[in-house]
Structure 1
Amino acid sequence: MNNTAPPVPQRPTPVGILSPMMWIERGWDDLRANPLPGLAHGLVLTLFGWLLVWVARDQFWLLVGAFSGFLIVAPVLATGLYHISRERMVGRKVGLAEVLTLWRSFDGRLVRFGLLLGLAGTGWVLTSAGLITVWSPVSIQKPVDFLQHVVLVREVGLFEAWLLLGALLAAPVFASSVVALPLLVDKKHVSVHQAVTTSWRAVADHPAPLVWWAVLIAMLVGLGMLTGLVGLIVAIPVIAHASWHAYCDLTGPQSAASMSPN
């Protein structure tokens, strides 16, 4: 599909503490302007999430592992939406067929990156399982066990340590991917190592805005999950589109708005 639309003027802006809110606003604008591809991505990922819940509903660690992998790899599966945002910035409206064509190109860099993220998710599950197995006075086998003996206990300790461990393990994953994924979509000549290095540099240069950005992403995903995953149908494409705009602002003149996509 190659429909043209009026160009959307946008230049990289200085990144400040309010930038993540602007990225969300731009992501919402992208979804409203071209809803079908985004909502299709959100629906497919939500259906997959429901399948995970159904399969692992009575097996706590399997459920945690499945959802950890799902949430970590989901940004890779939504990379087609970066392409939509990129093309909208230069006045083109991309259809779902073009996004599917992009996926069929089978970019090995995205596959390798996805595998690395999957390994990170596995590491989190094994580490957190070890923590709870050693610390919890009872065996945690089902989700209700975790709720009763970890989340709802009066004593402060295990649940807070579990959350802190998750945050510490999630931080390097976020730092490695926040710029890397859209950069890999945007620049075909960039290696995974270069993309990850650029991503870490962006985090080092803008720590406060990107911590706030990570919190916003967690809040949107959390709200989506609290609605029985239905909210993820909208939250996932908004986050994906917003991530493209975050990349553009964080990389400045190297963004797709000012350079060839290749």
Structure 2
Amino acid sequence: MRERSPARSSLAPAPRQVDLRSPWRWLALGWADLWRHPVPGLFHGFLLTAVGAALLWLARDRFWLLAGAFSGFLIVAPILATGLYQVSRALSAGRRAGLREVVSLWRSLDARLVRFGLLLGLAGTGWVLTSAGLITLWSPAAILKPMDFLRHVVLAPDLGLFEVWLLLGALLAAPVFASSVVAIPMLVDTSVPVSMAVVASWRAVANHPGPMALWAAVIAVLMGLSMLTALLGLVVCIPWLAHASWHAYRDLVRDTTPGEAQTPPSA
């Protein structure tokens, strides 16, 4: 059975040295984890990239379906990559977690991770609906296909709509990032309830606003560059960022002492 640290009141962020250099350290550690044990990471990368490519192909001519499917995919992807937190957790303990252990995590259907994934999916739906409302009211022409969005929003001669759309996206993405950056790996690592993990995540962001803003920007840039490679870059980028996120969590939140494996709480 996969061990977890018991829930403790000392899971608040520790007074560690987290500064503007930390995101680069997390990337270096994540890169090292990926190539120390590449099979689980590349398996996740290929699988999630294939899902993204399938969504892109199925909705290629319907902009709002494409926007909804891809936004949901990007927001829920950290939940789908939780097996890689288990791999980095094992490597930190001096052992290797194989695909069997990763699949065991998926098959456990941890109610907390399922619930958190559904909440992230709702957040993605909210973004798409808000975005649709903004563009429908502001755009001079109907947006039905991806080329319509490119022509009338991205390449519009007048400033305003695209810039407001980007700003709105950033404002809606910020609370999602703050709620999940520490919470998801914590749910894998411990038996704490979702509410405690989310509070710890917000506290970590509040205690280190500069480094966490930089970390969010680094994630966005790497994901954006990976998608510009016809999604092929995601094969490496997704596991790299997943492993790096584990090390971010370990730096931001006090390590818990090992204990007996517990059944996760239902809350």
Which TM-score band applies after superposition, normalised by the shorter structure? over 0.9
CA RMSD of aligned residues (A): 1.6
Question: Which structure 2 residues correspond to residues 210-249 of structure 1 after superposition, within 5 A?
Answer: 210-249=212-251
Could you say if the C-alpha distance between residues 137 and 238 of structure 1 is closer, same or farther in structure 2, counting changes exceeding 3 Å?
A: same
Deviations 1:3-38 (A, max 9, x none): xxxxxxxxx951001100100110000001000000
Question: Which structure 2 residues correspond to residues 86-97 of structure 1 after superposition, within 5 A?
Answer: 86-97=89-100
Name which of 181, 185, 197 aligns with 1:182. Answer: 185
1:104 aligns to what? 107
AA of the residue aligned to 1:229: L
Given that 1:187 and 1:261 are in contact with CA atoms closer than 8 Å, whether structure 2 keeps it comes out as no
Shift of 1:105: 1.1
Work out the CA distance in 1 between the residues paired with 2:93 and 2:61: 48
**1:71 partnered with 2:74:** yes
Higher relative contact order at CA 8 Å, sep ≥6: structure 1 or structure 2?
Answer: 2
3-state SS in 1 of match to 2:175: helix
AA of the residue aligned to 2:238: I
AA of the residue aligned to 1:108: A
The size of the alignment, in residue pairs, is 249
Work out the CA distance in 2 between the residues paired with 1:261 and 1:76: 24
Work out the CA distance in 2 between the residues paired with 1:247 and 1:261: 21
In structure 2, the gaps of 5 or more residues are 1-14, 262-267
Shift of 1:155: 1.1
**1:201 partnered with 2:203:** yes
Deviations 1:74-120 (A, max 9, x none): 00000010011011111001111110011111100000000000000
Work out the CA distance in 1 between the residues paired with 2:35 and 2:54: 28
Question: Which structure 2 residues correspond to residues 1-262 of structure 1 after superposition, within 5 A?
Answer: 14-188=17-191, 190-251=192-253, 254-255=254-255, 258-260=257-259, 262=261
Could you say if the C-alpha distance between residues 259 and 15 of structure 1 is closer, same or farther in structure 2, counting changes exceeding 3 Å?
A: farther
Taking structure 2 as the reference length, the TM-score comes to 0.91
AA of the residue aligned to 1:106: L
Taking structure 1 as the reference length, the TM-score comes to 0.92
AA of the residue aligned to 2:89: R
Work out the CA distance in 1 between the residues paired with 2:64 and 2:177: 23
Work out the CA distance in 1 between the residues paired with 2:109 and 2:62: 34
AA of the residue aligned to 1:235: C
AA of the residue aligned to 1:213: W
Shift of 1:255: 2.1
Given that 1:72 and 1:118 are in contact with CA atoms closer than 8 Å, whether structure 2 keeps it comes out as yes
Deviations 1:233-253 (A, max 9, x none): 0000000000000000001xx
Given that 1:109 and 1:191 are in contact with CA atoms closer than 8 Å, whether structure 2 keeps it comes out as yes
Work out the CA distance in 1 between the residues paired with 2:135 and 2:27: 35
Work out the CA distance in 2 between the residues paired with 1:259 and 1:205: 26
Work out the CA distance in 2 between the residues paired with 1:140 and 1:228: 23
Shift of 1:260: 4.1
AA of the residue aligned to 1:91: G
3-state SS in 2 of match to 1:93: coil
3-state SS in 1 of match to 2:67: helix
Identity in percent: 65
Work out the CA distance in 2 between the residues paired with 1:239 and 1:192: 22
AA of the residue aligned to 1:49: G
Could you say if the C-alpha distance between residues 194 and 52 of structure 1 is closer, same or farther in structure 2, counting changes exceeding 3 Å?
A: same
Shift of 1:259: 3.9
In structure 1, the gaps of 5 or more residues are 1-11
